[in-house]
Chain A
Amino acid sequence: MNIYAEPEGARTGDRLRYLARDIRRQSLTMVHRAKVGHPGGDLSAADILAALYFSALRVDPQRPTAPDRDRFIMSKGHCCCALYTTLAMRGFFPFSDLADYAQPLSPLNGHPNRTKVAGVEANTRPLGHGLPVAVGAALAAKLDGAAWRTFVLTGDGELQEGSNWEAAMAAAHFGLENLTLIVDRNRIQQGAPTETIIRLEPLAEKFRAFGWAVREIDGHDCTALSDTFAAVPFEPGRPNCVIAGTVKGKGVSFIENRAEWHHHVPTDGELAAALEELKGGLDR
Chain B
Amino acid sequence: MGSSGLSRFAKRFPTRLVNVGIAEQNMVGIGAGLANGGKIPFVCGAACFLTARALEQIKVDAAYSQANVKLCGMSSGLGYGPLGPTHHSIEDMAWLRAIANLTIIVPADALETAQAVRAAAAMEGPVFLRLSRTPVPDVHPPEYVFQTGSATILRPGRDVTLIANGAMVWRALAAARLLAAEGLSARVLNLSTLHPLDLKAIRDAAETTGAIVTVEEHSTRGGLGGGGLGGAVAEATATTCPVPMRILGIPGTFAPTGSTEWLLEYFGLTPEGIRDAALEVVGVKVRP
Contacts and interface: CB of A to CB of B under 8 A. Distances in A.
A133 B32 contact: yes
A126 B33 contact: no
A139 B65 contact: no
B36 A166 contact: no
B119 interface: no
B25 A122 contact: no
Nearest to B43: A136
B25 A166 contact: yes
A225 interface: no
Interface stretch (A12-20, A88-96, A140-148, A227-235): A140-148
B3 to A, nearest CB: 17
B20 interface: yes
B60 A126 contact: yes
Interface string A135-161: 111111101101000100000000000
B37 interface: yes
Given A114-B65, A170-B20, A129 B29 contact: yes
B145 to A, nearest CB: 31
Interface residues of A, number: 35
A123 interface: yes
A91 to B, nearest CB: 21
A34 B141 CA distance: 59
B34 interface: yes
Contacts of B34: 136-137, 139-140
Nearest to B15: A143
A125 B33 CA distance: 16
Contacts of A129: 29, 56-57, 60-61
A140 B28 contact: no
Which of B34, B36, B38, B57 has the largest number of chain A CB atoms within 10 A?
A: B36
B28 A126 contact: no
Contacts of B37: 71, 136-141, 144, 146
B36 A121 contact: yes
A96 to B, nearest CB: 26
A2 interface: no
Interface of A: 67, 71, 113-115, 121-126, 128-129, 131-141, 143-144, 146, 150, 162-163, 166-167, 169-170, 174
Nearest to A71: B36
B267 interface: no
A115 B140 CA distance: 38
A170 to B, nearest CB: 6
A132 B36 contact: no
25 contacts: A67-B38, A71-B36, A113-B64, A114-B66, A115-B66, A122-B32, A122-B65, A123-B61, A124-B60, A125-B60, A126-B56, A128-B25, A129-B60, A132-B25, A132-B30, A132-B33, A133-B36, A135-B26, A136-B35, A137-B37, A139-B18, A140-B34, A140-B36, A163-B26, A170-B21
B31 interface: yes
Given A71-B36, A140-B37, A170-B21, A132 B60 contact: no
Contacts of B287: none
B238 interface: no
A178 B66 CA distance: 25
